[in-house]
Structure 1
Amino acid sequence: MPTFLIFAVCAFASGFALRLTDPIVLPIAHHFGVAATAAALLNTAYALPYALAQPFLGPLGDRFGKARCIQVCVAALAAMLALGAVAPSFALLLATRVVAGICAGGLIPLVLASIGDRYGMHERQVMIGRMLLAIISGQMLGSVVSGIANEAFGWRSPLFVAAGVAVVAAGFAWLAIPASAHQRPAGHTPGASFRALYGRVFENPKAVWLYGAVLVEGLLFFGLFPYVGSLLLEHAGPGGAVLSSQTGFVLGAFGIGGLAYAIAVPLLIRTFGVARMCLIGAIGAGLCYAALAFLPLWWLAALAMLIAGFCYYMLHNSMQTEATELAPSARGSAVALFACGFFTGQALGPLLFGPLMHTVGFAATLIGTGVALALLGVVFVRSVVAGRERVEPLAAEG
């Protein structure tokens, strides 16, 4: 079985578990007799440890091997999901989500770092783009399957399904990953300390620019997400109503746009090149976010979000690829810190978007976000991508 496919199954399992509890917050709250706001913390209990564990999991992958860490993390994820499915108390269920989030944090970043070890820059972005099919599909299906399974068999059934997916992934990881996947990249130093590994990362002057860019990207793109329902309600006007399914379609359209990008990425790179693709993506996403301030119908908002999702991955996939090249001998550390910055930006986004929305209104906030996204694309291309694209032709001539 190809190693890439095994890694894709592991990444799918991690994404599948991310949004698993969102549709079953109310049934869980009713079962354990807790407030819905408390039950909603199950998603935070997964996502926050996922982000905070990154600075530790990346160096562990560099020290002990990325493939080995992936094997351990996916097996532990399966165990935590299964334990959560039979948890007799809400406290234990919450604890399993915390540990599951930590374990899942060792999957997608190390999978992307492993792709960096196996593929050169000329084909790496395409392969990471293909990996996005597994990641985005897992995140989208996690919510869908959870809702369907809950209606058919109760709230515990989605956790059993997720545990089954993780068990399959663990089986592939432990039984089918070839010995070649455990080989260390050139320049690897066994037993290197965390400080030494991160020192290698920040020896590259692009590191500060890239990590700052991905933090701002997460903040700008995802600050809107919790307020989409409020935006639609404002457009509906006095006495208007918005169905939760309409809000779900608008949010889901962003992921569909990401899937479309993952399919089209080879054509996009051949047609535009990386730098121009990033600029088109950033400006296109900025225009879509600004347009959301004026679109009166929910299905038009969904169309704008679909295009925004497509444009977002034109930029984000390029950032991911650059992260895999910051420090080839400490690639796990570099990509894990990238993921930490990205999730931190996602966490900060709603905290900033909400006060702005209430202070200056949706229109000004969305237009400002659109302008900032376009500027982010320009800064990223000039500070990170342009430098690499200038160097690569010289290296080829040499």
Structure 2
Amino acid sequence: MTATSGMPPALNVITLATFAASLSVRALDPVLPHVADDFSVSIATAASFAAVFAFTFAAVQPAIGAAADLFGKARLMTICLALLGLANILGALSTSFPMLFVTRILAGIGSGGVFPVALSLTSDLVGPEKRQLAIGRTLAGSMTGNLLGATASGLIGDLLGWRGVLAVLGALVIIVALAVAAGFRGAALNRPPRTSLKALRHGYRTIFTNPNARICYSAVFVEGCCVLGLFPFIASFLFELGETSLSIAGIVIAGFAIGGLLYTLTVARLLPWLGVRGMMIAGATLVAIQLVGVAFGPLWKLQMAGLLVMGLGFYMIHGCLQVFASELSVEARATALSLHSFFFFMGQTVGPIAYGFGLQHAGKTPTLVSAAAVMVVLGFVCAKYLKQRRPADADARPDVEP
């Protein structure tokens, strides 16, 4: 499809898909203390659900990206949505910790086949000059899903327990999967992919010979570790302050998603004002300031406001990195963006483990302040070394603008 100056209607279908996939990402975070109690495990052990979800999401990315480029992005995304919904429902029926662990692996596979493929479809549909705005719209669906998922998790958890959380969200995801499948039917998005195995191998070479790849993929790994790795511990931080309501934990975590939504509403103004380099430096700095704030354990309302600012800052830098990743290759764009997600979620896999080790051995304040320092350095490194470069295989697709 030719990149157009406006936003194509198919973007609405893609946004709905990212919304559904994101409902379950943070679903267990507000209710982890109750999961830990039910299965008689520590909060650090329960936090492994976040790690295994992220690791599985990451592990399937090379295969998901290749499959999407070879067999069709829209079809694969719909199937993965259905798998995600089914995994949540099976999780609600789990009778043991290992069984729930397995369902989170399945959920990671399902979620892993939606968001990066959605970004690739968005990049296919919209030219480079409007791509960051279009990706911001796709992110709006994701952030809304994160917001409702985290908030609903706390509210439903207080009423129906953590099993009710997974059952309700699983049913919602399946309903949305059916709606998305109907939306894709007959659309140009379902055209047969033009990528071959030979072109895919060439795409990998194109990706990794681009100087931006090393910086871009390393940066999202660090982001995942320092920012998203913190989330499984937020409920326990609130418990230490005497805030044992799961609804409060859900609202605090939802602050991050609200910040992400604020980014999608303001990116059109922020980008011309700050530029790409300024967006990355300012975003990383905002994240660092809020990590330090969380370290000192303010009241939950202040923590919620802090996570809102953290979400805004995070997506200021992360949105720029997504655009750079989309420009690493044209013929293997889904593969490039899936690798982007691979490194991001590998960071989220390592993050809870690193935070758990730091909290146990160094304490809360030194651990979070160290993460803040890393984020500041990251912003300046990305601003210095990431440059706009035309993909080496751009001439292979005449419908893609330089």
- Whether TM exceeds 0.5 here: the answer is yes
Residue in 2 that maps onto 1:216: 222
Residue in 1 that maps onto 2:242: 242
Q: Distance in 2 between matches of 1:332 and 1:180?
A: 17
- 2:386 aligned counterpart, secondary structure: helix
Q: Distance in 1 between matches of 2:126 and 2:344?
A: 23
Percentage of identical aligned residues: 34
**How big is the shift at 1:219?**
1.9
Pairing 1:172–2:179 present = yes
**How big is the shift at 1:355?**
4.3
Residue in 1 that maps onto 2:4: none
1:346 to 345, 348, 367: 348
Q: Which amino acid aligns with 1:205?
A: P
8 Å CA contact 1:126–1:266 kept in 2: the answer is: yes
Flag the 1:252–1:152 CA change in 2: closer, same or farther, 3 A.
Answer: closer
- 1:328 aligned counterpart, secondary structure: coil
Q: Distance in 1 between matches of 2:210 and 2:47?
A: 40
Residue in 2 that maps onto 1:288: 290
- 1:309 aligned counterpart, secondary structure: helix
Deviations 1:141-179 (A, max 9, x none): 223323434554565443342233222322233222143
Matching of residues 314-353 of structure 1 within 5 Å: 314-353=316-355
Q: Distance in 1 between matches of 2:163 and 2:365?
A: 41
- 1:200 aligned counterpart, secondary structure: helix
Flag the 1:163–1:352 CA change in 2: closer, same or farther, 3 A.
Answer: closer
8 Å CA contact 1:84–1:96 kept in 2: the answer is: yes
Flag the 1:27–1:48 CA change in 2: closer, same or farther, 3 A.
Answer: same
Residue in 1 that maps onto 2:383: 381
8 Å CA contact 1:18–1:47 kept in 2: the answer is: no
8 Å CA contact 2:232–2:352 kept in 1: the answer is: yes
Matching of residues 1-398 of structure 1 within 5 Å: 2-23=9-30, 34-37=39-42, 42-85=49-92, 92-153=99-160, 156-177=163-184, 178-183=186-191, 188-192=194-198, 195-228=201-234, 241-245=241-245, 249-293=251-295, 297-356=299-358, 361-385=363-387
Q: Distance in 2 between matches of 1:40 and 1:289?
A: 19
Q: Distance in 1 between matches of 2:183 and 2:304?
A: 41
Gaps of 5+ in 2: 1-7, 391-401
**How big is the shift at 1:275?**
2.0
Gaps of 5+ in 1: 234-239, 389-397
Q: Distance in 2 between matches of 1:149 and 1:328?
A: 43
Q: Distance in 2 between matches of 1:190 and 1:257?
A: 40
Aligned length: 379
- Choose 292-301 or 311-320, whichever is displaced more: 292-301
Q: Distance in 2 between matches of 1:29 and 1:293?
A: 23
Q: Distance in 2 between matches of 1:295 and 1:34?
A: 28
**How big is the shift at 1:16?**
1.0
Q: Distance in 2 between matches of 1:217 and 1:130?
A: 21
- Choose 43-52 or 133-142, whichever is displaced more: 43-52
**How big is the shift at 1:243?**
1.3
Q: Which amino acid aligns with 2:110?
A: C
**How big is the shift at 1:195?**
4.5
8 Å CA contact 2:51–2:348 kept in 1: the answer is: no
Deviations 1:244-266 (A, max 9, x none): 35655544322222221122111
Q: Distance in 2 between matches of 1:183 and 1:91?
A: 41
Q: Distance in 1 between matches of 2:300 and 2:158?
A: 26
8 Å CA contact 1:53–1:102 kept in 2: the answer is: yes
Flag the 1:366–1:45 CA change in 2: closer, same or farther, 3 A.
Answer: closer
8 Å CA contact 1:74–1:166 kept in 2: the answer is: yes
**How big is the shift at 1:7?**
1.4
Q: Distance in 1 between matches of 2:93 and 2:355?
A: 38
Deviations 1:227-284 (A, max 9, x none): 5567678xxxxxx843135655544322222221122111111322222222221223
- Choose 156-165 or 251-260, whichever is displaced more: 156-165
Q: Distance in 1 between matches of 2:104 and 2:358?
A: 32
Deviations 1:304-339 (A, max 9, x none): 332222111100111111111111110111111111
- Choose 7-16 or 37-46, whichever is displaced more: 37-46
8 Å CA contact 1:26–1:36 kept in 2: the answer is: no
